[in-house]
Structure 1
Amino acid sequence: MSEDHPNLSASTTRIITFERRHIRPIPESERHGTTRGLFFVWLGINMLPLTVVTGALGPSLFGLSLGWTILAVVIGNVIGGFGAALHASQGPQLGIPQMLQARGQFGYYGGSFLAIIAVLMFLGFFASNLVVAAQSFAAIFPLLSVNTGIVICAAVALVVAIFGYDLVRKAMGIFSVFIGVLVLASFVILVSNPATFETTIELGYNTAGFFGMLAVGVTWQLAYAPYVSDYSRYMPKEGGAKQAFWATYTGLVLGTVLVMGLGALVGLNLADGDAMAVLGGLLGGFGPFVLFGFGAASAVINSANIYSGVMSSLTALESLSGKIRINTNMRLVMTVVYALIAMFAAVFGKNDFLLVFKDFVFILLYVLIPWSAINLVDYFILRKGHYRVGDMFRRDGGVYGRCDVAGVVSYLVGIVVQIPFMVTTLYTGPLAEPLGFVDLAWVVGFIVPGVLYIAWKRAQGAGPAIDS
C-alpha cells in the first residue's frame, strides 16, 4: 500500500483538485470541507429521477393515496436519515472512508466482506440511476434509444468520478440548486393540473402498504450510510462531527422528501412503470425542460455511486494480497472497470425495472440494517469514537484482528432473524401473513444484532481504544 504523494497543496481548494488520497486518512491540514458544502452534497444527491420513481411506489405498487404516501415518506426518511447522519459524524473523527471503518467492528478481512456488500449496493444504485436517466432522455428525444442514453450517462458520471471527491462535491452542489428550482416549479404545475388527480388506480390506506412505503423511506436513507464518511472525512476534526451530522441529516431528508413527494403525485397516474414519461406528460410544455434537467443531473450526480463504490472496492481489494498497491493508478483503473460493469448491468436489466428495483431496495434494507446497528453501537456506546486508525491498515488487523468473530456472527444473526419477517416478491417469510404482510424485518434486524454485539463485546471486556 502506498500514498502517492507526501503532501498536497492546500491552495488547490480554489480549483478542481485531482484526488490522490484514495482510501488513506485525510490529514487535518487538508480538511477543507464546510457545513454548507456538505449540505448541498446530500441535498443534491437526491435530485434524481430515481427518487421520483421511488416516491411513485406509494400509489403505484402499495396502493396508497397521496396523503398516506407522503406521510409514510416523511416518517421513513426522518427515521432513516437520523441513522445515516450518525454514520456521517464519524468521518471527521477518523478521516477514512465509511466502509473501511468496518474493520473496527469486523476485523481486517471481516471489514472487507462488508465492503464487498457495499460495492454491490453501489452498483445497483448506479445501474438503476442509469436506467431512469436514460428513460428521461428517451422521453424527450424519441430517436435516442434507452441503451444509448445509458452509455452516455455512464460516460459522464465516469469522467466526474475520475477526478474524485472535489469535482463530485462541486457538481452535486450546482445541480442541487438547478434541479431544486425545477422540482418546485413542477410541484406548482402538477398540483394545478386536474389531470394529475384523475387516477384510474383504486387508492387509500392499507397497513401493509403504509409500512412498506415507510420501510422504503428508511432504506433510502440508510442506503447512504456506506457513503457518508467518504465526504464528511474532509470536515475538520474539531467540531466537525456535529456539523457533519446536521449538514448530512438536513440535506438528505429535505432533498428526499421533496423529490419523493413529486414522485407521489406522478404515481397517481403511473400504470406502465415509466414514471419519467408520465411526469413529462403531466407537465405539458414544461416537461421536456424538467426531464432534460433530471437526466443531466442524474448523469453527473450518479458519479457519487462510482466514487464511493470504488472506495469500497479498494478496501476489499487491498485485503487480497500484501503486494497490491492501492494508489492513484489503481483507483483510476477500478473507476473505469466499475463504471463498465454497472453500464452493462443497466443495459441488460432495464426491463421490468420498477418491480426489480422495489425488491432491490428491500434486500438492501435487510443487509444494511445489521451492519448499521453494529457500527453505531460500537462507535457511540462501546468505543465512544476512539479507534486506532493505523491498525485498520495492518494486514493482521492490529487490535481489531483479522476477523472479529463477535462482529461477523452478530451481523449474520441480524440477517437470519429477519428471514421470518421478510416481505418481497422473491420471498415472503412465515410470520409475514400473521402480521398482515407488514414488513417489520428491519426493526428486528436492527435491535437483535446491536444488543448481541454489545453483550458479546462487554463480556470480552472491550472498551475505548487510544486514538492513533
Structure 2
Amino acid sequence: MSENSQQTLIENHTVDYVPPAERHGKARDLFTLWFSTNIAPLPIVTGAMVVQVFHLDLLWGLLAIVLGHMIGGVFIALASAQGPQMGIPQMVQSRGQFGRYGALLIVLFAAVIYVGFFISNIVLAGESIHGIAPAVPLPAAIIIGALSATAIGVIGYRFIHTLNRIGTWVMGGALLAGFIAIFGGELPADFFSRGGYNLSGFLATICLGIIWQLSFSPYVSDYSRYLPASIGIGKPFWATYFGACLGTILSFSFGAVAVLATPEGTEAMAAVKQATGVLGPVLMVLFLLNIISHNALNLYGAVLSIVTSIQTFAGSWTPSIRVRVALSAVVLAGCCLMALGASANFISHFIGLILALLLVLVPWATINLVDFYLIKRGRYDIASIFAADGGIYGRFNPHAITAYFLGILVQLPFANTALFVGPYANWIEGVDLSWLAGLLVTAPLYYCLATRGRTESAGELSLAE
C-alpha cells in the first residue's frame, strides 16, 4: 500500500479497481468480520423462532440450525472468494454478467435492501440506548445510533475490519459467558423436552439458515477485494465460511437456548437478559455496540450501490472521499427522518418488506456464482467492466437478464412474503421453498444460455475468418 494511502484515515476507494500495490490484509480478517458481525440481537431473535415458532426441541433445533447455516455458508463463501481475484465491489462485478445497464436493476434492489436494514437497525439501536439509559429520549438515541454507524461506514474498509477483529474476542467471549451463565443456573424442567420433532419446523429452520447466509451475497466480496490476488480462492473461501457459519450457529443457538431457559412465551431478548442473570445488562450493552458496528456495513453497502448506479451513466467519474462522505450524509439524513417518523411496529413491517426483496437476490446470486466459477472461471476484463459502452460485456446481456427474470417468476408460486403469497406457499406448512425453486431453475438455464451464446459467437468468428 502506498504511503499516501496509509496516511489517509478515510478509505479513498469506492467502486473503482483496487490495484495490486494497494492490496493488504490476511484471509483471517474475513473470519473475524463475519464471525463478529453475526453475534447480534437479530440472529439471536431469529434463532429463538426455532423454539417459539417452529416448535422444535433443543436437539432437533440445534441440528437444523447447524445444517441450514453449513449449507447456506457455501454461497457466502463462494461470493467472498471472488473479491481478491476481482478487486472491485460485488455490484460492479455484476456488469460482467448482466452488462453495464443490465446490472443497474440489481444494484438498485441492493441499495433499497441496504437502506432498509440500516433504518431498521438504527431504530433498534435507538431503542437499546433508550432502554439502557432512559434519560436519553428515543429520538436522540436513534440519532446517536445512526451517527455512530455512519462514522464507521465513512472511515471504511480498514476500520470496519479492525472493529470486527476486536469484536470477535469481545463478542465471542461474551456469548460463551452467556452460555455458561445459562447452563450454570437452574434450568426449567421442560428445558430438554419442550417442543419436539416436526418435519415442517425442521425444514423451515434449515431454509431459514440458508436464506440468512444467502442474504449477504450482494456485498460479501466488498470486504475481501483489498486482499492480494495471490491469496487464491481457498483461503478466503474457508475463512468466510467458518466465520459466517460459526457466528450465526452460535447466535441462533443462543437464542433458542435462552428462550428454553425461561418461561414459555418470554420475548427473545428479555429471555436473554433474564436467563443470564447479572451478565444480562453487560450483554445488552455489548449487543448495542455490535448493532452499531454491523449497521456500518449496511451504510457502506448502500453508498457503494448508489455510487455504482450514478457511475453507470458517468463512466469516467470516480468519486472523491468528499463525495462519498457527502453521499453518506444524505443517506444518514433520509434514514433518520424515516426512523424518527416510524410507528411502533415499523421494524417488523419494514423487515417483512425487505425480506420480500430477497426474492430478487436468489437468481442474481445463482447467476453470479455460475458465471464466475463455471463459465468465465474468474477471468474478467476489468477495463470492460468500467467502459462506458460495457466493453466486451455490452450494455445488456440478454442471456443473464432472461435467466434472472425467469428465476424470479418461478419463485412466486412458492413465495410467502409481506408483498405476495403464492398458491403453493404452504406446500410444506411454514417452509419457504421459493429460494430452492429459483436456484434449481436459474442455474441450469443460465449455464445453457451462456455457454450456447459463447459457442455461437465462436462459430460466427470462425466463419468470418
Query: Using the alignment, how far apart are the partners of 2:283 and 2:142 within structure 1?
Result: 18
1:235-262: per-residue Cα shift (whole Å, max 9, x none)? 1111332221111111111111111111
The 1:426/1:94 distance shift into structure 2, 3 A limit, reads closer
The 1:431/1:190 distance shift into structure 2, 3 A limit, reads same
Q: Which runs of 5+ in 1 are unaligned?
A: 1-6
Query: Using the alignment, how far apart are the partners of 1:10 and 1:34 within structure 2?
Result: 21
Correspondence 1:110 to 2:102: yes
- Tell me the equivalent position of 1:3: none
- Of 280, 288, 294 in structure 2, the residue corresponding to residue 295 of structure 1 is 288
Instruction: For 2:209, give the aligned amino acid.
Output: G
Correspondence 1:129 to 2:121: yes
The 1:117/1:444 distance shift into structure 2, 3 A limit, reads same
Query: Using the alignment, how far apart are the partners of 1:348 and 1:253 within structure 2?
Result: 36
- Tell me the equivalent position of 2:12: 20
- Tell me the equivalent position of 1:157: 149
- Tell me the equivalent position of 2:272: 279
Instruction: Answer whether contact 2:12 2:321 (CA < 8 A) is retained.
Output: yes
- Tell me the equivalent position of 1:407: 400
- Of 242, 249, 256 in structure 1, the residue corresponding to residue 248 of structure 2 is 256
1:175-217: per-residue Cα shift (whole Å, max 9, x none)? 2211111111011112233366768x97333333322222221
Query: Using the alignment, how far apart are the partners of 2:455 and 2:301 within structure 1?
Result: 30
Query: Using the alignment, how far apart are the partners of 2:30 and 2:219 within structure 1?
Result: 12
- Tell me the equivalent position of 2:180: 188
CA deviation after TM superposition for structure 1 residue 355, in Å: 4.3
Correspondence 1:447 to 2:448: no
Residue 101 of structure 2 aligns to a residue in which SS? helix
Query: Using the alignment, how far apart are the partners of 1:366 and 1:49 within structure 2?
Result: 24
| Percent identity (aligned) | 36
Stretch moving more, 187-196 or 82-91: 187-196
- Tell me the equivalent position of 2:298: 305
Stretch moving more, 376-385 or 117-126: 117-126
CA deviation after TM superposition for structure 1 residue 21, in Å: 1.4
1:41-100: per-residue Cα shift (whole Å, max 9, x none)? 111111222221221222223333333332222111111111111011111111000111
Instruction: Answer whether contact 2:99 2:396 (CA < 8 A) is retained.
Output: yes
- Tell me the equivalent position of 2:360: 367
Instruction: For 2:3, give the aligned amino acid.
Output: S
- Tell me the equivalent position of 2:462: none
1:89-125: per-residue Cα shift (whole Å, max 9, x none)? 1111110001111111111111121111111221222
Stretch moving more, 168-177 or 335-344: 335-344
The 1:460/1:387 distance shift into structure 2, 3 A limit, reads same
Correspondence 1:9 to 2:3: yes
Q: Which runs of 5+ in 2 are unaligned?
A: 459-465
The 1:322/1:237 distance shift into structure 2, 3 A limit, reads closer
- Tell me the equivalent position of 1:168: 160
Q: List aligned pairs for 1:49-448, cutoff 5 A.
A: 49-194=41-186, 203-268=195-260, 269=262, 275-321=268-314, 325-349=318-342, 351-352=344-345, 355-356=348-349, 359-360=352-353, 362-424=355-417, 426-448=419-441
CA deviation after TM superposition for structure 1 residue 151, in Å: 1.6
Query: Using the alignment, how far apart are the partners of 2:50 and 2:335 within structure 1?
Result: 27
Query: Using the alignment, how far apart are the partners of 1:384 and 1:179 within structure 2?
Result: 37
CA deviation after TM superposition for structure 1 residue 33, in Å: 1.5
- Of 449, 452, 456 in structure 2, the residue corresponding to residue 459 of structure 1 is 452
The 1:203/1:160 distance shift into structure 2, 3 A limit, reads same
Instruction: Answer whether contact 2:315 2:387 (CA < 8 A) is retained.
Output: no
The 1:118/1:73 distance shift into structure 2, 3 A limit, reads same
Which TM-score applies when normalising by structure 1?
Answer: 0.89
Instruction: For 1:101, give the aligned amino acid.
Output: Q
The 1:457/1:72 distance shift into structure 2, 3 A limit, reads same
Query: Using the alignment, how far apart are the partners of 2:126 and 2:366 within structure 1?
Result: 36
Query: Using the alignment, how far apart are the partners of 2:233 and 2:403 within structure 1?
Result: 27
- Tell me the equivalent position of 2:461: none
Aligned residues: 456
Query: Using the alignment, how far apart are the partners of 1:297 and 1:118 within structure 2?
Result: 22
CA deviation after TM superposition for structure 1 residue 144, in Å: 3.5
Instruction: For 2:360, give the aligned amino acid.
Output: V
Query: Using the alignment, how far apart are the partners of 1:378 and 1:166 within structure 2?
Result: 29
The 1:56/1:463 distance shift into structure 2, 3 A limit, reads farther
